[in-house]
Structure 1
């Protein structure tokens, strides 16, 4: 296998992605900001992926990958970029299969993994409470795509326009239909002159989706609904964010909150202990305390100052700086 990787060096990023939408979004957000040539290694998992990373790594780090065809990688990358627990054993193994040992950057702390010190940089959100080390950097939120649109006609005449992003279940924390009915009705009551746009997520329970659709039938102020689990059309989220004056998001999704807090628009977070873990609640409170977001109770109230988090840019600058330092040492 080692002979397969005795190829010419080439300045590009080898980005490893899997089937988790959040992981993919983080990787593509960083790639966009790095502005470097890249190749994608899109991996699928078999049943062995349920085992802890430490076990997978003891047996080589590749056995949980389905139909891995690493021989298609023709050149040594400058950088390996991965995200999420299950990609870490593969990325860690690939680093030492390539000649020259490319720089290895991982997003999200890979729990129960071996040889973390072999990874050059690990970026992990501060709410994960991972102790900072030389190669572990805490971030506020997670990398997220930033899409600034221009010269697009707004089809919604009734203002203010509110965009509501709804997450879903995670672990023992369940997002219930009654909770979302309450949230939507509060928005409709307060935003009685405006328009409401709604996007759910792949984690949103089907019962919640049905409740949303039922509410929309009797409320003409709900102008647009997108369900990633059901709709096969192109995801309109970047357009919906562009049109909206107010952004409301449930507190169970760190990735959705991180994405919205990049825009120069008021972000109102709706959260409680019924559907949000302590980790998520602490994250929401930290963003609110530092002025990046507001509690839902402030909905439609004027914001004198709106701060934006620039996690994606900060991570990308750190990566580029480290790579340049490594080049200067050669």
Structure 2
């Protein structure tokens, strides 16, 4: 059997703690590799969840039954992301006699050489023979998915006029604060931009946005033609990306910024209070490479090649998998 055939028939697990930002990256890579994968959302028990990987005595026995259990038959390929998944990734490789090809996304808090392959964003410092570096975060977006979503949601926004501006709103996290004052500032800038350009809006919020901030946004947009999605009904996110003429994105999410740049359209970053060295490096790199510009209340026009890092990384991973399965 050829290496290509072995890859196409390989079993695959995606292992994370269920966090959307982590799971999306793993699924995006598995889909780009055309692997038949199963998603495993794990929950770990105390005290193991607080300890570094090398201190977990028996990782596979440290799982909470409210999450997915990890039991044989073991997968041919395992893709993990996040701190909680690291000991489990290593334990499965050991339990399967090193037959499982292990991939971890993001810098692990252990020896990167313990995995067959590690994929890190450029703003992380880890480098090595088994390390692939991507700009930003991996994701599920492909030109085909965006085109299909745009065609599907176009009738729902046909009443809105151009220019259509997608507004992707995140929220507070460990690095950034989206206070009510910050949301009022964004809302006022959106009102003023509509008055200045006549633009209409396609707006999405996240679970981190918060009901108070959503209320501020809704109030500000009452007199502005728009469509707002806050989590109810079918998610139009891909459709909004495809249909927008330009985008405004809060800077708290690497995933969201990278997804916004997948169309090659102007992406304006609304900066939030906070940040850290990694986020600052990421945003600086995105500006320097011509993908984004700060949102200062105006729409700008510029062009750049669409950011499709998942496809680029998947191509490299596929070459490595071919060597692995040809042994």
What SS does structure 1 have at the residue aligned with 2:146?
Answer: coil
Alignment partner for residue 158 of structure 1, among 151, 158, 161? 161
Deviations 1:113-155 (A, max 9, x none): 3x43120111111212x23111223221010121322434342
Size of the aligned set, in residue pairs, is: 307
Matched, 1:142 2:148: no
Q: Which residue of 1 aligns with 2:239?
A: 239
Task: Find out whether 1:205 has 2:201 as its counterpart.
Answer: no
For the 8 Å contact 1:56–1:63, the answer to whether it is kept is: no
* Contact residue 25 and residue 144 of structure 1 kept, 8 A: yes
Give the whole-Å Cα distance in 2 for the aligned partners of 1:61 and 1:319: 27
SS at match of 1:44: coil
Structure 2, unaligned runs of 5 or more: 1-8
Q: Distance in 2 between matches of 1:123 and 1:314?
A: 12
Q: What are the ranges of 5 or more consecutive residues in structure 1 without an aligned counterpart? A: 1-9
Structure 2 Cα separation of the partners of residues 202 and 55 of structure 1:
33
Please give the TM-score of this superposition, normalised by the length of structure 1. Answer: 0.85
Structure 1 residue corresponding to 2:123, chosen from 122, 127, 146: 127
Structure with more of its chain in helix, by fraction: 2
SS of corresponding position for 1:261? helix
1:185 equivalent in alignment to 2:188: yes
Give the TM-score, by structure 2 length.
0.86
Contact 1:267 1:293 in 2 (8 A): yes
Quote how far apart the aligned CAs of 1:242 are: 1.9
From the superposition, tell whether residues 239 and 269 of structure 1 become closer, same or farther in structure 2 (CA, over 3 Å). same
Distance in 1 separating the partners of 2:262 and 2:311: 10
RMSD value over aligned CA atoms? 2.2
Tell me, yes or no, if structure 1 residue 169 matches structure 2 residue 172.
yes
- Matched residue SS, 1:45: coil
Structure 2 distance, partners of 1:31, 1:319, is: 10
CA drift at 1:100: 5.2
User: What is the SS of the residue equivalent to 1:40?
Assistant: strand
